[in-house]
Amino acid sequence: MISLFPLLVALLPLFFYGLLIFFFNARKRPSLLSGSLDLAALLVGISGFVIIGPMALLIPILFPDISPEYSGSYYTVFICFTYCLGSSLLLLAQKPSLVLYNCSIDTFLPIFESALEELETEVRWAGSTVSLPEAGIELHVEQIPWLRNVRLTSVGDHQSFLGWRRLEIALKKRLNETEVERNLPAMGTLAIGFVALLLLMVGFLGDHQALAESMQILLPKL
């Protein structure tokens, strides 16, 4: 019998990440996140796949002499520590950016232009790139139409984190007063995944023997 426990470990964090995205798309107001916070949520969402997948190949290479009796303990501690460390380094290296959920580009641009005028009188546009010399911001505006997502990505190495913070505050103030429709296509896609995972969880948690055996394999000495 194939154990469903590794699959559950992989999908459970992804379920909560999908639940967060579902909430953003179900709201009647746009949701604005910093790029670092958005990346952190994604890293948590895919952590289960990393723990049971590619990083598991490192265990027999780095710890060839570990007995099977203790392999689960070493595996769990090493993988979790390494993943947290790598995620922290990735977040520290992240350039300033902002991610907007459930807002079309047509709705966003007037709000964005109003926020830019609050920060600086001289705003320079070049296609989808915006430069605010005094605020120390240069960014590119990207969109994902079917998800109704807009992303503001920094361009160049010289960026002012204070300027980005001021831009985020100015946008949030205006977005809190903006009402949009719920993003039903994105909600429907996520709902299908939720139902599949819930069925998997119910089937697995109902088999107490399989649950106990799987936990013993993963955490034999913890």
Domains: count for the chain: 1
Q: pLDDT by residue (tens digit) across 118-165?
A: 888 888 888 889 999 888 899 999 998 878 899 999 998 888 899 999
* Main-chain dihedrals φ then ψ at residue 205, nearest 5 degrees: -65, -20
Distances (CA, A) of 11 to 24, 48, 76, 81, 173: 20, 7, 17, 20, 35
Percent of the chain with pLDDT over 70: 75
Give the Cβ contact number of residue 104 at 10 Å.
17
pLDDT at 186 over 80: no
Q: pLDDT by residue (tens digit) across 26-66?
A: 888 999 999 999 999 999 988 888 877 765 666 666 666 65
Q: Please, are residues 200 and 7 in contact by the beta-carbon 8 Å criterion?
A: yes
Residue 12 to residue 14: CA distance in whole angstroms = 5
| Residue 67 structural domain | 5-218
Residue 96 to residue 2: CA distance in whole angstroms = 44
For the whole model, what pTM was predicted?
A: 0.79
If pLDDT is split at 50, 70 and 90, which confidence band does 203 have?
low
